[in-house]
Amino acid sequence: MPASRPTGTEPRLPAPLGGPHKLFDGSFVIEFLQIPADLDATVLMRATYLGGHELTTLGKKHPQAPPLHIHFYQAESFIVESGAAGTTTTYETIDTIHTTDGAYTQTAGRATAVPTRSPAGVTVIPPYVPHTFWPSVAGPRTSLPREKTNAKHSVSPEHPFWATTAGQDYERTLPSGRHTDTTLLIWGHPKTNTGPPTGTLTSDFPPDMDAAFFLALLSVVDAVHGQRLSMSPSVGAALMTTQTASGAAMILAPRAWWLGPLRWAIPWALQVALEWTRKLVDRRSVVHLVEEAIAREVVRKR
């Protein structure tokens, strides 16, 4: 029977995938770990938000935080190893703060629709459930320049959770209070690709999300954020290609309940059309795009 959760002691994958990869001005660190044989997963990663970093003040506007989206084929599960992280889930865009000892819904709505936490501390986000991750720890009170933080749109570094009784009690248990680093152990499952591995990195992608998929995606977004790479039409198309190939669709107007499945079907149709158009002018496969991004943004940087 497949394991329900990793141990947290799994070693890193070999270079160039394993890491640690420091991204977004060092505010976010990602490591890709070896998947235990009894865990039916295609990626296992440890993600850390630096609690004392200025970019953590951005919360949902942190450059790592993806738009609200769904996965068609795979679920994502996670454990909070330290600190506190936020998720926005469901079409009601319900915010939840996740800590090492519990999950605290912040937004009014049908709480039964929110992904729940198991007694083992595992939260599972099933396929077709809209979601995104973001840091809820506070950064320092000093701030980056406006052009770095997009301050006009950023959320307060003092998240309301920390003013609640649960938040205050939890803060007292943390070594650096609300400025403690947040570390998540995240895995994508189950394995759906029954064919041979693809590319030189022996990847399960596509369609399964794996280390190569996430590393390429995050590295390109980091390069755009750091202005080392311009968000040209070709870069945007390549980013959307990787998302489409993994079976992920963006969400349009999530609270517009009368749209029903059109909230993901319209963006998905546009994503598919964009990919069809890209292939007319760029014959490279999505595997080639992923490996090219890793070679450019990871291997050459070393």
Classify residue 12: in a domain, yes or no.
no
Tell me the pLDDT tens digit for each residue of 260-276. Answer: 999 999 999 999 999 99
Q: Does some domain include residue 133?
A: yes
Q: Which residue has tokens 């248990």?
A: 173
Q: Is residue 1 part of a domain?
A: no
Residue 8 lies in a domain: no
251 strand-pairing partners: none
Separation between Cα atoms, residue 113 and residue 83, nearest integer Å: 24
211-225 vs 233-245: helix axis angle to the nearest 10?
150
Return the residue matching tokens 């998947």: 35
Residue 109 in this model has a pLDDT that exceeds 80: no
Adjacent-strand bridge partners of 80: 184
> Considering the chain, what percentage of its residues have pLDDT values greater than 70?
89
pLDDT per residue as tens digits for the range 124-138: 999 999 999 999 866
* Residue 15 pLDDT class (50, 70, 90 cuts): very high
Residues 6 or more apart in contact with residue 250 via CB below 8 angstroms: 67, 68, 69, 243, 264, 267, 271
Instruction: Identify the residue with better confidence: 30 or 115.
Output: 30
Q: Averaged over 7-17, what is the pLDDT?
A: 95
pLDDT at 152: 32
Query: What residue has token string 């270079």?
Result: 15
- At residue 157, the pLDDT reads 44
Angle between helices 233-245 and 262-281 (to 10 degrees): 120
Residue 55 is assigned to a structural domain of this protein: yes
Q: Give me the domain span that covers residue 103.
A: 21-299
Distance CA 240, CA 250 (A): 10
Q: Give CA–CA dist 71/128, Å, rounded.
A: 6
- Between 173 and 154, the higher pLDDT residue: 173
Residue matched to tokens 């394995």: 191
The per-residue pLDDT of the chain, averaged, comes to: 88
> Quick one: tokens of 105?
């819904």
SS3 state of residue 164 = coil
**How many structural domains does the chain have?**
1
For residues 198 and 286, the model is more confident at 286
In a domain, 145, yes or no: yes
CATH number of the domain that residue 59 is part of = 2.60.120.10
pTM, two decimals, is 0.90
> Has residue 11 been placed in a domain?
no
Please identify which residue in the block is written with the tokens 């800590």. Answer: 99
Least confident of 58-62, 69-73, 153-157, 244-248: 153-157
Q: Are 228 and 220 in contact (CB under 8 A)?
A: no
Which residues fall within 8 angstroms of residue 62, CB to CB, at 6 or more apart?
24, 27, 28, 49, 55, 56, 134, 135
pLDDT digits (tens, 9 = 90+) for 21-46: 999 999 999 999 999 999 999 999 99
